[in-house]
Amino acid sequence: MLPALYVVVLVCLCGLAAGASHIPAYASLAGRSDEEIALFMRNHPTPGAQPPPPPIKDTSSKLVNDRLHPWLPLLPGQIRGVCPGLNTLASHGWLPRSGVATPGQIVTAVQEGFNMGSDLAQIVTYAAMLVDGNHLTNLLSIGAKSRLTGPDPPQPALVGGLNTHGVFEGDASLTRGDAFFGDNHSFNESLFDEIVATSQQFGGGKYNLTVAAEVRFNRLVASEQSNPEFFFGFPRFGTAYAEAAFPLTFFIGGPAEDNVPTNLNASLDLDVMKGFFRDSRMPKNFHRREGPLGLDIIGGALGFLSDAHPFPPGFNTGAGNYTIDQRAVDILTGNAEIDLLCALYLTFVNTTIELYPRPTGLLRKSIAVNLHNLYLPLVAVNDSAGCPEQFPFGKF
Ligand code: HEM
């Protein structure tokens, strides 16, 4: 007979091994114990974080729904999530069709498929990688749960992937519900119907900048009125406006004048829009936009949308009980020592520290490298004295 202590130890080790071996290669390691991480490293290749790829050279408009990138229906186990842009790139094979990719693959694919500027691509991708990705395998899921993910890990561990609520994904999305109500990642037909109705009222039946401002505002008001946990501080404040402009800047495609973000005449056909949002599908003959759209020009669209219907950053404590975040207001109105981009950077730095309070070895180094990757495009548009780089995980 085995001594009782031996049995207890054996049971614990088996439980630990089973738990850690359930962690998919793309899942976040936030909240995992040192033992789970060590076991994970024994079971997976761990290249760690890598430097970002160089910007693409040819940024002309070109056919991207081409013979080499046909739309294909989803196979079991393939992951899609909250972002119609990334979903579409995966369903056309510009990203791995599995829905799991390296940040480098994402940075290149959003440039190749949509001509997103490399600086914007890097900021968005490395922000997501820091809070939702696996720093050891260097993989990020563009959704999250699938049958490959297995059972959810116990708190505070995260399943990871872009669907994870609160670190990047947020409330008042255009076509996805709030996490508080259950499903924060599936296409929601009723929400799209609201976009259709608003487009009929303000856009002659198409989605344009005026419609985007109305839809953006209506979704904020609806969440503020109904969601007791509604959150509209950083980073959500920045991403919510950008995402309302993205259909115009990236889903129209073709000549530059048709999709500059402040062109009030730029309009998107609603069937085409639904194709991207619901089916992850480019229209036939889709050409990506002419020329990259990066940090230097997206600001105009964001300003238009937020000026049309100001909605100050803040959060609910109970449905309809909204508190304005004064610090965030000061940043937006230029009354703070940092600007919006820097505030977004610092938010992701702080969230990463909360998720990984004491990482060691390769994990620590990889987080440090990914933080640096996030900072790189920021220095180009921001003077580094106004937004000094942070090194909470050391310099590598
Ligand atoms: C560069 C890497 C990208 C990452 C990491 C990313 C990530 C995300 C995430 C996490 C959301 C959910 C936010 C929320 O509503 O709660 C989102 C939404 C969205 N993304 Fe992306 N995205 C990327 C690129 C793109 C591109 C290239 C496009 C357009 C071509 C795009 C279009 C959109 C749109 C339109 C939404 C709003 C969906 C809705 O509110 O229903 N994204 N993205």
Fold of 186-322: Chloroperoxidase (1.10.489)
Q: Which amino acid is at 218?
A: N
| Cα-Cα-Cα-Cα dihedral sign, residues 320, 302, 286, 58 | negative
Report which protein residue has its CA nearest ligand 1's atom 24.
Answer: 85
Cα 126 to ligand 1 centre (Å): 13
- What is residue 100's DSSP assignment? E
Q: List, for residues 245-287, the tens digit of each pLDDT value.
A: 999 999 999 887 777 777 888 899 999 999 999 999 999 999 9
pLDDT of residue 396: 81
Tally of residues, the chain: 396
Quick one: what percent of the chain has pLDDT higher than 90?
75
> For residue 243, how far is its CA from the centre of ligand 1 (angstroms)?
6
Rounded average pLDDT over 143-165: 68
**Dihedral pair phi/psi, residue 38, rounded to 5°:** -60, -45
Query: Which residue's alpha carbon is at the smallest distance from atom 43 of ligand 1?
Result: 83
Q: Which residue has the higher pLDDT, 167 or 157?
A: 167
- Model confidence at 9, in pLDDT bands (50, 70, 90)? very low
In testing the pocket of ligand 1, which one of 28, 83, 219 has its CB within 8 Å of the most ligand atoms? 83
Q: Would you kindly state where each structural domain of the chain is located, as residue ranges?
A: 1-169+337-396, 186-322
- Provide the pLDDT confidence category of residue 153 given band limits of 50, 70 and 90: low
Is 7's pLDDT higher than 90?
no
Atom of ligand 1 nearest to the CA of 82: 12
Q: Helices in 135-235 by DSSP H: which ranges?
A: 189-202, 209-226
Q: Is the pLDDT of residue 298 over 80?
A: yes
Q: What is the pLDDT of residue 155?
A: 66
CA atoms within 13 A on the CB side of 86: 29
Minimal-distance CA residue to ligand 1 atom 37: 243
CB 170 within 8 A of CB 82: no
**Which residue of 82, 89, 92, 241 sits with most ligand 1 atoms within 8 Å of its CB, as the best mutation to test the pocket?**
82
So what's the pLDDT on residue 296? 84
Percent of the chain with pLDDT over 70: 90
Yes or no: say if 102 and 139 are a contact pair by the CB < 8 Å rule. yes
Give dist(CA 259, CA 245) in Å, integer: 10
Q: How many angstroms does the Cα of residue 16 sit away from the middle of ligand 1?
A: 35
269 strand-pairing partners? 206
The answer on pLDDT for 174 being more than 60 is: yes
Topology (CATH) of 1-169+337-396? Chloroperoxidase (1.10.489)
List of residues 6+ apart from 351 with CB closer than 8 A:
130, 131, 167
Query: Within 10 A of 284 (CB to CB), how many other CB atoms are there?
Result: 9
What Cα–Cα distance (Å) separates residue 13 from each residue in 5, 21, 23?
12, 12, 16
Give the pLDDT confidence score for residue 281 in this predicted structure: 98
Query: Could you tell me the two tokens for 318?
Result: 């109970």
Average pLDDT in the 322-340 region?
93
Residue with CA at minimum distance from ligand 1 atom 9: 83
Atom of ligand 1 nearest to the CA of 107: 1
Distance CA 142, CA 26 (A): 10
8, pLDDT greater than 90: no
Are 110 and 117 within 8 A, CB to CB?
Answer: no
Kindly list the strands in the beta sheet with 231-232, ordered across the sheet, starting from the edge strand earlier in the chain: 231-232, 314-316, 322-324
Determine which residue's CA is closest to atom 11 belonging to ligand 1: 83
Q: What is the pLDDT of residue 150?
A: 52
At 382 the pLDDT is 67
Least confident stretch, 44-48, 337-341, 351-355: 337-341
> Distance between alpha carbon 233 and the CA centroid of its chain, in Å?
16
For ligand 1, which residues put their CB under 6 angstroms from it? 82-86, 106, 110, 114, 116, 121, 124-125, 128, 162, 168-170, 173-176, 239, 243, 246-247, 250
Handedness of CA 192, 243, 49, 155 (dihedral sign): negative
Q: Is the pLDDT of residue 154 over 80?
A: no
Q: Which of 20-29, 99-108, 258-267 has the highest mean pLDDT?
A: 99-108
Residue in the block written with tokens 């300003």:
303
Instruction: Report phi then psi at 159, rounded to 5.
Output: -65, -35
Distances (CA, A) of 2 to 6, 253, 303: 7, 69, 70
User: Fold identical between 1-169+337-396 and 186-322?
Assistant: yes
Helix or strand or coil: residue 139? strand
